[in-house]
């Protein structure tokens, strides 16, 4: 095996109900930023209608989905590349741009797939710490770019802290990035943003050939189990992403479901609005309990529990709520259905009262 793999722990998924050993009763999984709603109207019908065709390969080009996305976003079809979730597209991006000796730059802590996938292609991760407010430090990131930098990830909103960078600071940062360095705006959670100064990557990329926007059907559109995501970028970048894609990676079910999900835009927005309301309710309640909560613009909240992280995660699990713990740093709690959020708030309040004096 390649020595590069020795230092890789592999992608760690959020704790599952089965792994928690919970028996009976209700256990809520708030550990993977999933959408708690069932499939959007029309999605199951459309996806299952193609079930009789599973003896055939799916459309390699994802033609209908790409066409629908181009209309939905107002971009040329040649600027779209699909993949098996946006994590699949992230892998395609790294394979297209980075090799041993190259550097891939991102904030830390951010999406945990970045260092893993960077290592797999043999490139070096350069991690720039978030500010004390848990926000990308774009000035420090610009200063960290070297001649070896090939790719920069800006996770906006950031997983796991939920924070955003705003339009003016992003534009200032992009002005400092050399034109031959690709900047990836990972917008997996964009539909949950309500901030008027948030930079929509689709507007940003139009005038910047070295910007690539990453989106997914896994979060707002509720298709995490089908694995479909996409990039929007100028032609040389999009073409490279099509070359590094796993052939036929996006199944017919995924393509059909994604098309139907796009057509259910109204219901999608209603559900997202409900989750945003819950996010704001949970954030306010945590603040009321005495926690410091970074303002979240995504479908999860972050608590910097530091050395109490494992104990806090266990306290939540004891209440039947699985959260995502980053040892020694903090806990990310996805926004779920109201009863799940209430159960979490109950655990958080008790923990705070017992441990913080």
Q: Tell me whether residue 103 or residue 186 sits nearer to ligand PMP (CB atom).
A: 186
Nearest approach, Cβ of residue 218 and ligand PMP (Å): 3
Backbone torsion region of residue 352, taken as left when φ is above 0, otherwise alpha when ψ lies between -120 and 50, otherwise beta: alpha
How far is CA 211 from each of CA 177, 220, 246, 345, rounded to the nearest angstrom? Answer: 10, 23, 23, 39
Q: Tell me whether residue 79 or residue 219 sits nearer to ligand PMP (CB atom).
A: 219
- List of residues contacting ligand PMP (CB under 6 A): 33, 85-87, 111, 155, 159, 186, 188, 216, 218, 224, 229
Q: Tell me whether residue 86 or residue 210 sits nearer to ligand PMP (CB atom).
A: 86
Distance CA 352, CA 346 (A): 10
CA 309 to chain centroid:
22
Nearest approach, Cβ of residue 246 and ligand PMP (Å): 13
Closest CB to ligand PMP: residue number:
85
Nearest approach, Cβ of residue 101 and ligand PMP (Å): 26
Structure tokens at 216: 């997914």
Nearest approach, Cβ of residue 147 and ligand PMP (Å): 27
Burial environment of residue 243 by CB neighbours within 10 A (0 to 12, 13 to 18, 19 or more): exposed
Q: Tell me whether residue 119 or residue 227 sits nearer to ligand PMP (CB atom).
A: 227
Structure tokens at 312: 């806090």
Nearest approach, Cβ of residue 160 and ligand PMP (Å): 8
Q: Tell me whether residue 223 or residue 340 sits nearer to ligand PMP (CB atom).
A: 223
Distance CA 279, CA 335 (A): 6
Q: Are 163 and 296 in contact (CB under 8 A)?
A: yes
Q: Tell me whether residue 12 or residue 353 sits nearer to ligand PMP (CB atom).
A: 12
Nearest approach, Cβ of residue 154 and ligand PMP (Å): 10
């Amino acid at each position: 095996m390649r020595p590069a793999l020795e230092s890789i722990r592999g992608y760690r998924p959020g704790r599952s109900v089965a792994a928690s050993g919970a028996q009976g009763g209700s256990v809520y999984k708030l550990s993977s930023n999933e959408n708690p709603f069932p499939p959007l109207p029309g999605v199951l019908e459309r996806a299952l209608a193609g079930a009789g065709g599973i003896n055939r390969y799916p459309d390699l080009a994802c033609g209908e989905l790409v066409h629908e996305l181009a209309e939905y976003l107002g971009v040329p079809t040649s600027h779209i590349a699909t993949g098996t979730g946006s994590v699949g597209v992230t892998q395609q991006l790294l394979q297209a741009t980075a090799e041993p000796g190259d550097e891939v730059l991102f904030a830390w802590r951010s999406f945990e797939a970045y260092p893993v996938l960077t290592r797999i292609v043999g490139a070096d991760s350069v991690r720039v710490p978030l500010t004390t407010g848990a926000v990308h430090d774009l000035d420090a990131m610009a200063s960290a770019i070297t001649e070896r930098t090939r790719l920069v990830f800006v996770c906006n909103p950031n997983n796991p802290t939920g924070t955003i960078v705003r339009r003016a600071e992003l534009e200032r940062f992009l002005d400092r990035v050399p034109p031959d360095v690709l900047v990836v705006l990972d917008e997996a959670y964009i539909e949950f943003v309500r901030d008027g100064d948030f930079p929509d990557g689709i507007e940003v990329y139009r005038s910047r050939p070295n910007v690539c926007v990453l989106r997914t059907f896994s979060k707002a559109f509720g298709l995490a189990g089908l694995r479909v995501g996409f990039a929007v970028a100028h032609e040389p970048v999009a073409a490279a992403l099509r070359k590094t894609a796993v052939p036929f990676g996006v199944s017919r079910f995924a393509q059909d479901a994604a098309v139907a999900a796009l057509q259910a835009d109204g219901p999608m927005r209603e559900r997202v609005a409900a989750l945003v309301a819950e996010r704001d309710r949970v954030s306010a309640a945590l603040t009321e309990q005495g926690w410091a909560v970074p303002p979240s613009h995504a479908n999860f909240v972050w608590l910097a529990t530091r050395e109490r992280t494992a104990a806090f995660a266990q306290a939540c699990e004891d209440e039947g709520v699985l959260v995502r713990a980053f040892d020694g740093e903090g806990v990310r709690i996805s926004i779920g259905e109201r009863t799940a959020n209430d159960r979490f708030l109950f655990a958080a309040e008790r923990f705070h009262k017992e441990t913080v004096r």
